[in-house]
Amino acid sequence: MKTSTFVFSLAAAGLLPSTGLAEEPDFSWQGKLEAGYLYDSNVTVRELDTATNKSDQAAQLNGSLSLKWNPWASLNVNTGITHSETLYQSQDEFDLAITTISGDLSYDFNALTVGVSRHDAQADLAEQAFMDYQQDALYLARLWGTRWYTRIALQDIDKSFNQVPDRNATAQAMTGDVYWFTPSAKTFVMFGYTYHDETATNPELSYQEPQYRLTWQSQAAGWGGEHTWQVHLQWQQRDYVAPMQLLDGAAREEQRLTVRAKWDIPLVSAFKLTPTIEYVDNQSNFADVDYNETLAELKLSYAF
């Protein structure tokens, strides 16, 4: 299970305000169904410090439904539910299912948008209850003209593990993102930073982690409609607070680089085909989590 999958980062498109001139309806909804194939060069469960050093293939199934309500022009209410499953061909002990329910309430004061959000998720590993995750956030956002958009958030996080209570943890995080758009608004660059401070039941698992993010995304008309390309880079430096017995009293350290590229290809009607390639280099003085991993995905999605 990958942190980039499990920890519920908000997609760029969902963060950005509409730039169209048409008024939005008071109530709207949308959904998506996805099915795909995954190749994983090194099946891992980061939350358990497990890297198998074995490759596998998996089927992926995802579904989501979101609702949006505007009681009046400046107030936005959003809620949604998503469910995803990863079913490995050989290593079914790592089959993963995640259900997430989210809600967001924001008010646009013209100069500033203020909002609160909540994410509740449950993860099952090999059809057994594995992890519960809650994240509450307070955020401020602003669109500066038509070229710049900024968002900062304070997050309060709670994680509980059904089978390994030593890993239960609470965390506080501060995150900030800056977007720069081209005049057409079809291309943007995002710079992001997060500081994450986590306290676990077992002190050896408590850590502090700065994260740096860079995303480029562009849209252009092509065969079948609008094509979207995205490249994402992320660097994390995780420093554990307490000495670790397995390291003869030394504190554990990790540096993690993630590089991901994807391409949304429009097909007939509301169908899209999305190939994705991701590379992870996780370096650590703890040998169990010193590894690299390559993931290749191909998904077919239907939006309604």
The model's pLDDT over 64-97, given as tens digits with 9 standing for 90+, comes to 999 999 998 899 999 999 999 999 999 999 999 9
Q: Cα 130 to chain center, whole Å?
A: 19
> Whats the size of the chain, residue-wise?
304
Q: Are the C-beta atoms of 114 and 126 separated by less than 8 Å? A: no
pLDDT at 205 over 60: yes
Angle made by CA atoms 35, 214, 51, in degrees to the nearest 5: 55
Residue 145 is assigned to a structural domain of this protein: yes
Residue 17 is assigned to a structural domain of this protein: no
Rounded CA-CA distance 203/292 in Å is: 26
Residue 1 is assigned to a structural domain of this protein: no
Rounded CA-CA distance 59/299 in Å is: 10
Q: What is the pLDDT of residue 95?
A: 98
pLDDT at 292 over 60: yes
Residue 165 is assigned to a structural domain of this protein: yes
- Give the CA-trace dihedral at 154, 260, 146, 193, to 10 degrees: 30
Residue 226 is assigned to a structural domain of this protein: yes
Residue 5 is assigned to a structural domain of this protein: no
Residue 110 is assigned to a structural domain of this protein: yes
Q: What is the pLDDT of residue 24?
A: 52
How many distinct structural domains can be found in the chain? 1
**Residue 219: CATH number of its domain:** 2.40.160.10
Q: What is the pLDDT of residue 11?
A: 37
On average, the pLDDT of the chain sits at 93
pLDDT at 287 over 80: yes
The model's pLDDT over 2-53, given as tens digits with 9 standing for 90+, comes to 443 443 333 333 444 443 333 555 999 999 999 999 999 999 999 999 999 9
Residue 11 CB partners (closer than 8 Å, separation 6+) = none
Question: Looking at residues 231-241, what average pLDDT do you find?
Answer: 98
Residue 23 is assigned to a structural domain of this protein: no
Q: What is the pLDDT of residue 221?
A: 92
Q: What is the pLDDT of residue 13?
A: 36
Rounded CA-CA distance 304/65 in Å is: 9
Q: What is the pLDDT of residue 224?
A: 86
- Can you give the residue range of the structural domain that contains 202? 30-303
Scored b (16 or more CB within 10 A) or e, 172-204 reads ebebebebebeeeeeebebebebebebebeeeb
